[in-house]
Amino acid sequence: MSSGSVDEDLADSTQSHRSPAQGQPDMRRVLYRETHSSRAAAATVAAVLVLGLSGYGLLESALHAIGQPAWLIEPQLAAERIVALPAGIPPLLLGASGAVVAMVGLFFLLNAVLPGRRARHALHGIGISSAVVVDDEVIASALARSARLAANVTPEQVMVVVSQRQVMVNVRPTSGVPVAENAVLAAVQAELRGMSLVPMPEVNVTISTAGVIGA
């Protein structure tokens, strides 16, 4: 890895964390927190919704028990209307309500099931007891430079997209100047090995068939 070319970017865009040993649980928790999004917001929204509905149900039940008029709707009447669905409700309103409920449910389901990874990777091998968390944009910039040098093209002719498990490298060659795909692939893979990313993504290189007219 040509570390000198990206040291400044890494220094500006990384967050380093140190613990007594890299394999210790504290380090793993720190890395997990830095590479995964928090579920606190979704959990808070869910808790507020449940508490709100439970509080409203308790309020209506208490008013009904002491013989007072309902605040919005009588619990027994609400239960009868729910049982009678979809009778008495316009199809358009019923469909819209169902879509809203389905989207809310899907939001909470995806938040519970998906890993919630951020666009970041951990770089190990920086030291015995340290690791660095780097934004994927910084990694893509470093890989684009390596691909550009290997392909002998301008920065505008290389686009790199980094995801959790894959690196997509797209190169638009200069018209009349062939680009060795294997050379670009080897350069990008060498850069990745030097970074020691965790997890290590797979590299795919695509050479465009439409060339760019040289200046």
Total tally of structural domains belonging to the chain: 2
Q: What is the pLDDT of residue 145?
A: 93
Q: What is the pLDDT of residue 190?
A: 92
Q: What is the mean pLDDT of residues 22-31?
A: 57
Q: Are residues 46 and 32 in the same domain?
A: no
Instruction: Output the six-digit token pair for 96.
Output: 């819209």
Q: Are residues 91 and 15 in the same domain?
A: no
| CA 152 – CA 173 distance, rounded (Å) | 9
Nearest residue to 119 via CA among 101, 134, 103, 109: 134
Instruction: Output the six-digit token pair for 43.
Output: 């959990």
Q: Are residues 86 and 14 in the same domain?
A: no
133 neighbors 17 (Cβ within 8 angstroms): yes
- Give pLDDT tens digits for 154-172: 999 999 999 888 999 999 9
Nearest residue to 188 via CA among 179, 201, 198, 175: 201
Is residue 8 predicted with pLDDT exceeding 60?
no
Q: What is the mean pLDDT of residues 164-184?
A: 89
The average confidence (pLDDT) of the chain is: 77
Nearest residue to 139 via CA among 84, 203, 89: 203
Full residue range of the structural domain in which residue 80 is found = 40-113
DSSP 69: P
Q: What is the pLDDT of residue 168?
A: 94
Q: Are residues 146 and 168 in the same domain?
A: yes
Q: What is the pLDDT of residue 127?
A: 47
Cα distances from 111 to residues 95, 101, 141, 180, in angstroms, run: 24, 16, 30, 43
| CA 41 – CA 46 distance, rounded (Å) | 9
| CA 51 – CA 67 distance, rounded (Å) | 24
Q: Are residues 136 and 199 in the same domain?
A: yes
Cα distances from 71 to residues 56, 62, 68, 112, in angstroms, run: 9, 10, 9, 34
Reported pTM: 0.54
Nearest residue to 160 via CA among 126, 61, 149: 149
Neighbours of 179 (CB within 10 A): 20
Q: Are residues 107 and 159 in the same domain?
A: no
Is residue 1 predicted with pLDDT exceeding 70?
no
- Give pLDDT tens digits for 83-124: 777 777 788 887 888 899 899 888 888 877 776 677 677 776
Is residue 141 predicted with pLDDT exceeding 60?
yes
Least confident of 5-19, 62-76, 78-92, 165-179: 5-19
Is residue 13 predicted with pLDDT exceeding 60?
no
Q: What is the mean pLDDT of residues 26-53?
A: 76
30 neighbors 17 (Cβ within 8 angstroms): yes
| CA 19 – CA 187 distance, rounded (Å) | 33
Of the candidates 96, 113, 130, which is a domain's last residue?
A: 113
Q: Are residues 84 and 162 in the same domain?
A: no
207 neighbors 173 (Cβ within 8 angstroms): yes
Of the candidates 113, 145, 173, which is a domain's last residue?
A: 113
Q: Are residues 142 and 163 in the same domain?
A: yes
Q: What is the pLDDT of residue 215?
A: 53
Is residue 131 predicted with pLDDT exceeding 90?
no
Q: DSSP 3-state assignment of 46?
A: helix
